[in-house]
Amino acid sequence: MATTRIGSHPNDVTRLRMRGCDSLSKVVGEMTFTQGFYFIVTGRRPTEVQTKVLDAALLILMDHGLTPGALVARLVADSNPDDVQIPLAAGILMVGNRFAGTMTGAGRILSDGMAFQGDKHVWAEQVVQDFRKTRRRIPGFGHQQYTSGDPRTERLFNIAESAGVKGDYIGLIKLLSAAIDKDAKRHITLNVTGALGAVLHEIEFPVGAMRSVAAVGRCAGLAAHIEEERQAPVAPELINFGAAVEYID
């Protein structure tokens, strides 16, 4: 028989459970959203350190202006002004393997690195060469605008370290960053998603769920864009831009 440990079914009117706890007396009003998020995903109550780091992780990608995801959400909101969940869903689909969602890829690399038996410098060099051979970008590295360094990365690391994390994964991704720079013979930015892969490891957040941190945080930002679109729309200008693109037969 199939089972779940997440929550009790609506048909079970005798109880309302989340991860074995009474939802109304032990969760709602007792946990913050960040604490509840950590709890429902991991099944463990977060420590103060884990809560502070996850809270920062949820906030750091909440918004970055008129990103492709925000523009998609606004365009869809223009067509579905009364159904906020539709533009939210459309915008959040833009959190992927290229933009905003590469912390999972970085997290997997760091898992392999921590399990590597031997000199971590050798591991880092092997990672760089493996990605070079297959002509793939290493997730969590590179940024079109932040070419000299991503200030969000340093802020996340500072928060995590001041909160009291061990710092093993932060150290590991910095070591990988140095190996990438050495191979490229120039600086390649360790971006915020790479930093998230490290700090989420530090608080024992599952690698497979790391991208959900970006998705959950970004949803709040998209809600703001959708609401602003009702009051000060940008969609008409985007539509006008499309009309101005020349058709070539």
CATH code of the domain covering residue 187? 1.10.230.10
pTM of the predicted model, to two decimals? 0.93
Question: Is residue 187 one of the residues assigned to a domain?
Answer: yes
- 96: helix, strand or coil: strand
Residue-level pLDDT at 101 = 79
Question: Is residue 167 one of the residues assigned to a domain?
Answer: yes
Residues 105-126: what's their mean pLDDT? 95
Q: Read off φ and ψ for residue 28, nearest 5 degrees.
A: -70, 125
Question: Is residue 13 one of the residues assigned to a domain?
Answer: no
The predicted-structure confidence for 25-73, as pLDDT tens digits, reads as follows: 999 999 999 999 999 999 999 999 999 999 999 999 999 999 999 999 9
Question: Is residue 92 one of the residues assigned to a domain?
Answer: no
Residues 191-215: what's their mean pLDDT? 96
Residue-level pLDDT at 149 = 86
- Domains held by the chain: number: 1
Query: Alpha-carbon distance 43 to 20, whole Å?
Result: 9
Question: Is residue 199 one of the residues assigned to a domain?
Answer: yes
Q: In the chain, at which residue ranges do the beta strands (DSSP E only) sit?
A: 17-18, 21-22
- 31: helix, strand or coil: strand
Question: Is residue 244 one of the residues assigned to a domain?
Answer: no
Whether residue 98 is predicted with pLDDT greater than 80 in this model: the reply is no
Question: Is residue 221 one of the residues assigned to a domain?
Answer: no
The predicted-structure confidence for 139-197, as pLDDT tens digits, reads as follows: 999 887 888 889 999 999 999 999 999 999 999 999 999 999 999 999 999 999 999 99
Strand partners, 22: 17
Cβ distance 233 to 74 under 8 Å?
yes
Residue-level pLDDT at 145 = 83
Question: Is residue 126 one of the residues assigned to a domain?
Answer: yes
Which helix (H) or strand (E) segment is 22 a member of?
A: strand 21-22
Closest C-alpha among 62, 63, 86, 64 to residue 74: 86
Whole-number mean pLDDT of the chain? 94
Closest C-alpha among 185, 105, 113, 179 to residue 137: 105
Which helix (H) or strand (E) segment is 153 a member of?
A: helix 151-163
Least confident of 21-30, 35-44, 130-139, 228-237: 130-139
Domain that holds residue 171: 103-207
Cβ distance 103 to 197 under 8 Å?
yes
